[in-house]
C-alpha cells in the first residue's frame, strides 16, 4: 500500500490519533501546582496563571451530539491561546454524575446506577478524547466517586455546623454561638437560661440558627419524580423543571440551606463579577430585594364575640408603598394566614353586603368554603386564572394606624403566605391588583398620589390604578404626620420615621428568595452525614467517618405517599436498608444506637464546589490546599473576590447551579477554607446549536438525514414534510454526533466549523453541508506546506513580499485580539483570508507558513502539530509563543485628517500619512461638503497643522 499525503479523512484520522497519543504520553496539558503532589520543576508554575472551566456534563446514556462540545471547544481554543502567550493554564473536565436519569434507568432495568453511570462516563470520555481537548486529565473528577463526595459531605457538615452572625455579616462556627448563649452574651430566643434547656431544646434553638437545618414546612412535592424539589426546580406554571410533572404543596420535614442569610451579599457581589447582564438580572430578580416597611394594623376585639376571644390582635403587613398608607381602604390576609381563625367573628356585622359573603350564612363557613376552593387549585390552575380576583370578607375590621379609620379585612388568594407577612394593606388607587379587587368587591378607593396625567383625582372614574414613583402626595395627614406635598420617596422616609416613633412599624427589607430545600427522596445522591439519637436529635458524623458511602439496596423505585395524611412522610429508598439505617456508633461519648438520615442530597450539591477540587484533586487531608487555592483562584487585580478566570456554559443554570455555587463559596470563604468569595469571576454563556426538525403530515419528526430538498420543498421519500428550527436531539431525529463528523472530516474540521459558525453566545442552526468549508481550508493550508506526492514541504526559503508581510501582520494582530475576546468566528475568517492570499500567490515563504501554522494551532491543534513537525521542528506548538505582530506593518496605510470651518468639523479625509501640505490643502478644498459649507463666502486662509488638521477660515 502506498502512503498518501493528501489531506483527507484517513490522513486526518491518522494525524489526530498520533498526536493525541503523543500529548497523553508527554503529559502536554498537565498544569503544575505551585506545591504539593501536582507540582513539577518545569518552572511553569511561575508564569501568570489562568483557570479556565466548562460547566461539567451529566454523563447521559444518549451520548453527545455536536451541540454539547461547543463550549468545550471554545474553552480549549482559548486555553491554547493562553498557553501560547505564556500562561500556566488549568483546564480540565469532570462529570456531574449523580442524578435522576441513571436512577430511572435502574428502576426499569435493575442495573445499579453506578454501573450505568460509569459506563456512560467511559463512552463520553472516548467521544471527548477524539476532539483533542487539552485537558489535564489528572484533575478530572466525578461527583459519584467516594473520594470526591467525601468532601461534598464534609462541606455539608461545615454548613450544618455554622450560623450566620448578622452583626459580623458572615457565617461563624456554631460553637461560637453556643459560647455566646453559655456566657449570656446572647439571650436565648424564649428568654430562658441556656443552662436550663434540655438537650432537645438546645438542639431546637440551634436548628433555628444553623445554615443547614431540618424543618417542617410546606414544600414542593412532585409525585411524578417521587421527591420534593427546590423552588428553583419548579417552573412558573407549577411543574417540575425536569420531566414536566405537576408539583403540589405538601407539609413535610426536610433539610434546608439558609441561603436567604446571604441574600444581600449574593446581590451586592454581582457588581464585581464579569457576567452577562442578563444572568445578573435573573439573579437579581430571583433574590428580589424590596425595601419597604412593616406596618402593624390592630384588629380590635369584637364585643363579646367568642370567635376572636374578645382580645385585640395585631396583624403586620409588608409594603413598599408606606407613603400611600392614607389610601389604604381595606386589608387582605392570605387564606393560610395563622390569624384568620382568631379574628373571625361568629356572625356577619350589621349591614354586610351580600357580595362580600360569598352567599354563606356566617363568616366561618364562608372562609372554610373559600379555603377549600383555593386549596383544591393546583398551581397550574391557580396560574390559569391568575388575574381574576376572588376572596371573601372575614367579618373583621382593622384600624389604619395613620388615620384611625376602620377598614374591612378580607381573605383572598392573591395575597401569598410565602411572601412578606402574608398580609397586605390594600391601596386600590395605587396598586393594580388592589384596584382590580376593589372593583370586583365594590370597595372604596382613595387617591393619595396626585396623578401626573389628566385622569383627575377621583379613582371611581379611573380605568386602572395610578402607579408612579415620581409624583406628589396629597390628602395624607393624620395625628402627628403630614405627607402632603412631598414626593413619593420623601414621603416613604417620613412615614417610616413616623411608624418607628409611634411603634407601629419599621423600615424593613423583604426578599423573594427562599431557603434552599436540600433533601431528596431518591437513591442516587450523596447520603447526609447525619444520624439521629433516640431523642431525635441530629448529630453530625465526625470527619473520620467520611465518606459515608451509599448503601446497597435492591429496589430503587420512588414511592408516592398520601399528602393528605399529615402523619406520613414519603418513604426514602435508603430507608429500605435497615442494617445501614440502624447503627451503633461512638460519637465521642461511648457507643450508642443511632438512626441514619435517609434522604440524599440534590444533584446540585456536587457541582457547588467542583472548581475547588480540580485544583488539588489528590489531597486526602483537605478539600483543597489553601496555598494552591489562593494561587489559582485568590483575589487579584480587578477581581477583588477572586474566582475562576473564565467559566463557560449554558444560561439555563442562571438561578440554579450558579446561585447555589456562589452560596457555598461564600460559606467556605466565611469559615476561612478558601480565599475566594466568588467561584466564577467571569461567566460566558454559549448559545445553542439548533437543527432543522422535519415533520410529516401527522406532525411526527422524520429522520433529518433521510430528507431531500427539491425546488425549495422538503420530502421524506415522496411525502412532503415541513421544516422548522428546533433543539438538536434524539427525540426530534435530528441529532448529529461529533463521532460522525470526526469520521468524515476529522476533529480539526469539526472544531473549526463549530467555532466558525457564528459568535459563541448566539444560537444558530447546524448546516450539515457547510462543514466541508472548514475542511477545504485545512486542505488548502496542508497543500501550502506539504508536497502531496512526497510528503516533503513546498515552502520556499525566501522573504515574503511587502504586500504579504502586511497581510500577515494584520492577520496576526487581528487573530490575537479576536481569540482574546472569544471571537473565534472572525479569527478563523482572518486566518482563511491570509491562507487564501498565499494560495493565490502560488508560493509560500517559510515565515508565512510557520505563522499560519501557529495562528491556527489553538483552533486546529492536530494539523498544526503535524505541519509544525513537517516544517522541521521537534518541539510542540502547544507551548510555542503565539506570533506577535510587528507594529510597523499594522499601522494604517492612511490617516484621518480633520477639516474644520469656523472651528467646526466639516469633513474627515483619508490621506496618506506623508501627504504634502499643499496637496492636502487642495484635496480639502475639493471635498464636496467643504465646498458646500463655504458656499460663496470665499476663502481667507487655509491653515494645515500637525498632526493633520486643516483649518479653513472663510472670508
Partner RNA sequence: GCCCGGAUGGUGGAAUGCAGACACGGCGAGCUUAAAACUCGCUGGCCCUCCAGGGUCGUGCCGGUUCGAAUCCGGCUCCGGGCACCA
Judged by beta carbon, residue 120 or residue 510, the one nearer RNA is 510
User: Least distance from C-beta 512 to RNA, angstroms?
Assistant: 4
- Cα separation, 935 vs 601, in Å, equals 80
Burial of 174 (0-12, 13-18, 19+ CB in 10 A): middle
Asked if 414 contacts 323 with a C-beta cutoff of 8 angstroms, the reply is: no
Cell of 357: 359573603
User: Least distance from C-beta 308 to RNA, angstroms?
Assistant: 23
Judged by beta carbon, residue 595 or residue 810, the one nearer RNA is 810
User: Least distance from C-beta 71 to RNA, angstroms?
Assistant: 17
User: Least distance from C-beta 890 to RNA, angstroms?
Assistant: 15
Q: Rounded to whole angstroms, what are the CA distances from 7 to 121, 123, 852? A: 32, 28, 17
Neighbours of 128 (CB within 10 A): 18
Cell of 502: 409611634
Judged by beta carbon, residue 633 or residue 648, the one nearer RNA is 648
Judged by beta carbon, residue 508 or residue 676, the one nearer RNA is 508
Asked if 629 contacts 675 with a C-beta cutoff of 8 angstroms, the reply is: yes
Judged by beta carbon, residue 806 or residue 873, the one nearer RNA is 806
Asked if 295 contacts 325 with a C-beta cutoff of 8 angstroms, the reply is: yes
User: Least distance from C-beta 378 to RNA, angstroms?
Assistant: 13
User: Least distance from C-beta 897 to RNA, angstroms?
Assistant: 10
Check whether the bond before 658 is cis (ω within 30° of 0): no
To which H or E segment does residue 319 belong? strand 313-319
- Cα separation, 296 vs 501, in Å, equals 13
Provide the 3-class DSSP secondary structure of residue 35.
coil
Judged by beta carbon, residue 797 or residue 892, the one nearer RNA is 892
Q: Rounded to whole angstroms, what are the CA distances from 713 to 470, 710, 813, 945? A: 57, 5, 44, 64
Burial of 152 (0-12, 13-18, 19+ CB in 10 A): buried
User: Least distance from C-beta 426 to RNA, angstroms?
Assistant: 8
Judged by beta carbon, residue 790 or residue 929, the one nearer RNA is 929
Judged by beta carbon, residue 578 or residue 904, the one nearer RNA is 904
Judged by beta carbon, residue 810 or residue 846, the one nearer RNA is 810
User: Least distance from C-beta 901 to RNA, angstroms?
Assistant: 9
> Cα Rg for the chain, rounded, in angstroms?
35
| Ramachandran angles phi, psi of 222, nearest 5° | -115, 100
Cell of 437: 379587587
User: Least distance from C-beta 906 to RNA, angstroms?
Assistant: 5
User: Least distance from C-beta 775 to RNA, angstroms?
Assistant: 6
- Cα separation, 179 vs 758, in Å, equals 59
Helices vs. strands in the chain: H and E counts, helices first: 29, 33
Judged by beta carbon, residue 192 or residue 469, the one nearer RNA is 469
Find out whether 730 is annotated in a ligand binding site.
yes
- Cα separation, 677 vs 684, in Å, equals 19
Asked if 219 contacts 249 with a C-beta cutoff of 8 angstroms, the reply is: yes
User: Least distance from C-beta 945 to RNA, angstroms?
Assistant: 17
Residue 91 neighbours by CB under 8 Å, 6+ apart = 29, 31, 51, 52, 53, 75, 76, 79, 134, 135, 136
Provide the 3-class DSSP secondary structure of residue 259.
helix
Provide the 3-class DSSP secondary structure of residue 237.
coil
Judged by beta carbon, residue 124 or residue 859, the one nearer RNA is 859
Q: Rounded to whole angstroms, what are the CA distances from 329 to 398, 410, 438, 883? A: 10, 11, 9, 73
User: Least distance from C-beta 695 to RNA, angstroms?
Assistant: 16
Give me the count of residues in the chain.
955
Interior CA angle at 594 toward 592 and 598, to 5°? 165
| Ramachandran angles phi, psi of 281, nearest 5° | -65, -45
Judged by beta carbon, residue 241 or residue 484, the one nearer RNA is 241
Asked if 844 contacts 96 with a C-beta cutoff of 8 angstroms, the reply is: no
Judged by beta carbon, residue 45 or residue 222, the one nearer RNA is 222
Judged by beta carbon, residue 655 or residue 805, the one nearer RNA is 655
Query: Smallest Cα–Cα separation from 411: which of 346, 337, 321, 503?
Result: 337
Q: Rounded to whole angstroms, what are the CA distances from 488 to 420, 445, 455, 478, 875? A: 21, 19, 19, 17, 70
- Cα separation, 408 vs 173, in Å, equals 48
- Cα separation, 13 vs 451, in Å, equals 73
User: Least distance from C-beta 661 to RNA, angstroms?
Assistant: 18
| Ramachandran angles phi, psi of 933, nearest 5° | -70, -35
Helix, strand, coil % over all residues of the chain, rounded to 5: 40, 20, 40
Binding-site annotation, residues for ATP: 730
> Known binding site: residues?
730
Amino acid at each position: 500500500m502506498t502512503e498518501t499525503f493528501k489531506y483527507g479523512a484517513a490522513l486526518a484520522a491518522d494525524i489526530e490519533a498520533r498526536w493525541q497519543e503523543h500529548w497523553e504520553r508527554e503529559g502536554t496539558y498537565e498544569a503544575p501546582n505551585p506545591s504539593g503532589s501536582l507540582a513539577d520543576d518545569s518552572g511553569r508554575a511561575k508564569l501568570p496563571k489562568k483557570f479556565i472551566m466548562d460547566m461539567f456534563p451529566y454523563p447521559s446514556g444518549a451520548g453527545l451530539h455536536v451541540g454539547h462540545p461547543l463550549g468545550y471547544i471554545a474553552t480549549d481554543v482559548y486555553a491554547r491561546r493562553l498557553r501560547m502567550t505564556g500562561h500556566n493554564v488549568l483546564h480540565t473536565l469532570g462529570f456531574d454524575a449523580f442524578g435522576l436519569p441513571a436512577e430511572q434507568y435502574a428502576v426499569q432495568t435493575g442495573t445499579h446506577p453506578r454501573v450505568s453511570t460509569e459506563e456512560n462516563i467511559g463512552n463520553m470520555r472516548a467521544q471527548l478524547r477524539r476532539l483533542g481537548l487539552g485537558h489535564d486529565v489528572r484533575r478530572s473528577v466525578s461527583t459519584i466517586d467516594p473520594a470526591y463526595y467525601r468532601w461534598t459531605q464534609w462541606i455539608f457538615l461545615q454548613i450544618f455546623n455554622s450560623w450566620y452572625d448578622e452583626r459580623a455579616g458572615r457565617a461563624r462556627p456554631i460553637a461560637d454561638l453556643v459560647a455566646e448563649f453559655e456566657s449570656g452574651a446572647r439571650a436565648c430566643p424564649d428568654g430562658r437560661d441556656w443552662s436550663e434547656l434540655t438537650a432537645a431544646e438546645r438542639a431546637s434553638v440551634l436548628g433555628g440558627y444553623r445554615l443547614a437545618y431540618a424543618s417542617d414546612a410546606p414544600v414542593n412535592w412532585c409525585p411524578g419524580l417521587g421527591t420534593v424539589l427546590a423552588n428553583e426546580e419548579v417552573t412558573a406554571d407549577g411543574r417540575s423543571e425536569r420531566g414536566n410533572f405537576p408539583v403540589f404543596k405538601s407539609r413535610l420535614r426536610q433539610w434546608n440551606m439558609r441561603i436567604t442569610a446571604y441574600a444581600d451579599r449574593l446581590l451586592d457581589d454581582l457588581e464585581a463579577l464579569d457576567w452577562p447582564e442578563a444572568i445578573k438580572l435573573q439573579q437579581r430578580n430571583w433574590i428580589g430585594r424590596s425595601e419597604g416597611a412593616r406596618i402593624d394594623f390592630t384588629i380590635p376585639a369584637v364585643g363579646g364575640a367568642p370567635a376572636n376571644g374578645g382580645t385585640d390582635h395585631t396583624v403586620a403587613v409588608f409594603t413598599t408603598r408606606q407613603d400611600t398608607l392614607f389610601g389604604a381602604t381595606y386589608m387582605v390576609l392570605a387564606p393560610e394566614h395563622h390569624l384568620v381563625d382568631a379574628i373571625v367573628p361568629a356572625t356577619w356585622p350589621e349591614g354586610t353586603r351580600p357580595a362580600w359573603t360569598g352567599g354563606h350564612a356566617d363568616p366561618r363557613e364562608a372562609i372554610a368554603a373559600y379555603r377549600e376552593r383555593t386549596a383544591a387549585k393546583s398551581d397550574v390552575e391557580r396560574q390559569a386564572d391568575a388575574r381574576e380576583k376572588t376572596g371573601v370578607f372575614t367579618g373583621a375590621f382593622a384600624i389604619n394606624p395613620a388615620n384611625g379609620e376602620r377598614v374591612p379585612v378580607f381573605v383572598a388568594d392573591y395575597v401569598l403566605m410565602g411572601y412578606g407577612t402574608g398580609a397586605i394593606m390594600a391601596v386600590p388607587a395605587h396598586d393594580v391588583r388592589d384596584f382590580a379587587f376593589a372593583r370586583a368587591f365594590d370597595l372604596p378607593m382613595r387617591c393619595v398620589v396626585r396623578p401626573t396625567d389628566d385622569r383627575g383625582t377621583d379613582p371611581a372614574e379611573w380605568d386602572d390604578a395610578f402607579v408612579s414613583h415620581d409624583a406628589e402626595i396629597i390628602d395624607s395627614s393624620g395625628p402627628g404626620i403630614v405627607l402632603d406635598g412631598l414626593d413619593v420617596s420623601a414621603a416613604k422616609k417620613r412615614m417610616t420615621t413616623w411608624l418607628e416613633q409611634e411603634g407601629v412599624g419599621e423600615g424593613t427589607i423583604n426578599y423573594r428568595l427562599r431557603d434552599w430545600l436540600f433533601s431528596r427522596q431518591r437513591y442516587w445522591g450523596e447520603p447526609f452525614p447525619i444520624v439521629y439519637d433516640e431523642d431525635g436529635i441530629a448529630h453530625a458524623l465526625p470527619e473520620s467517618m467520611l465518606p459515608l458511602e451509599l448503601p446497597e439496596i435492591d429496589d430503587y423505585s420512588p414511592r408516592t405517599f398520601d399528602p393528605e395524611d399529615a402523619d406520613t412522610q414519603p418513604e426514602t429508598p435508603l430507608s429500605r436498608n435497615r442494617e445501614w439505617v440502624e447503627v451503633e456508633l461512638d460519637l465521642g461519648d461511648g457507643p450508642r444506637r443511632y438512626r441514619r438520615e435517609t434522604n440524599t442530597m440534590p444533584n446540585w450539591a456536587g457541582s457547588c464546589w467542583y472548581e475547588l477540587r480540580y485544583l488539588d484533586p489528590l489531597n486526602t487531608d483537605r478539600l483543597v490546599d489553601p496555598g494552591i487555592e489562593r494561587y489559582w483562584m485568590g483575589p487579584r487585580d480587578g477581581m477583588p473576590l477572586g474566582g475562576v478566570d473564565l467559566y463557560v456554559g449554558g444560561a439555563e443554570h442562571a438561578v440554579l447551579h450558579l446561585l447555589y455555587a456562589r452560596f457555598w463559596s461564600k460559606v467556605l470563604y466565611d469559615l476561612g477554607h478558601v480565599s475566594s468569595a466568588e467561584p466564577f469571576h467571569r461567566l460566558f454563556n454559549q448559545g445553542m446549536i439548533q437543527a432543522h426538525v422535519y415533520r410529516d403530515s401527522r406532525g411526527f419528526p422524520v429522520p433529518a438525514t433521510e430528507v431531500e430538498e427539491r425546488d425549495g420543498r422538503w420530502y421524506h421519500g415522496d411525502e412532503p414534510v415541513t421544516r422548522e428550527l428546533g433543539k438538536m436531539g434524539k427525540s426530534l431525529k435530528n441529532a448529529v454526533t461529533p463521532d460522525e463528523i470526526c469520521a468524515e472530516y476529522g476533529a480539526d474540521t469539526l472544531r473549526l466549523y463549530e467555532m466558525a459558525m457564528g459568535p459563541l453566545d448566539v444560537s444558530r442552526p447546524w448546516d450539515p453541508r457547510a462543514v466541508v468549508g472548514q475542511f477545504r481550508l485545512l486542505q488548502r493550508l496542508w497543500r501550502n506546506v506539504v508536497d502531496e506526492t512526497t510528503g516533503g514541504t513546498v515552502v520556499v526559503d525566501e522573504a515574503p513580499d511587502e504586500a504579504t508581510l502586511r497581510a500577515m501582520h494584520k492577520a496576526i494582530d487581528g487573530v490575537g485580539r479576536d481569540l482574546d475576546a472569544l471571537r473565534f468566528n472572525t479569527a478563523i475568517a482572518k486566518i482563511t483570508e491570509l491562507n487564501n492570499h498565499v494560495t493565490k500567490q502560488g508560493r509560500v515563504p517559510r515565515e508565512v507558513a510557520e505563522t499560519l501554522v501557529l495562528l491556527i494551532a489553538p483552533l486546529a491543534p492536530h494539523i498544526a502539530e503535524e505541519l509544525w513537525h513537517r516544517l522541521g521542528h521537534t518541539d510542540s506548538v502547544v507551548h510555542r509563543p503565539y506570533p506577535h505582530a510587528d507594529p510597523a506593518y499594522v499601522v494604517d496605510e492612511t490617516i484621518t485628517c480633520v477639516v474644520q470651518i469656523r472651528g467646526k468639523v466639516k469633513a474627515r479625509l483619508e490621506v496618506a500619512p506623508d501627504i504634502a501640505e499643499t496637496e492636502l490643502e487642495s484635496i480639502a478644498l475639493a471635498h464636496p461638503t467643504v465646498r458646500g459649507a463655504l458656499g460663496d463666502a470665499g476663502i481667507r486662509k487655509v491653515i494645515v497643522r500637525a498632526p493633520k488638521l486643516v483649518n479653513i477660515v472663510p472670508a
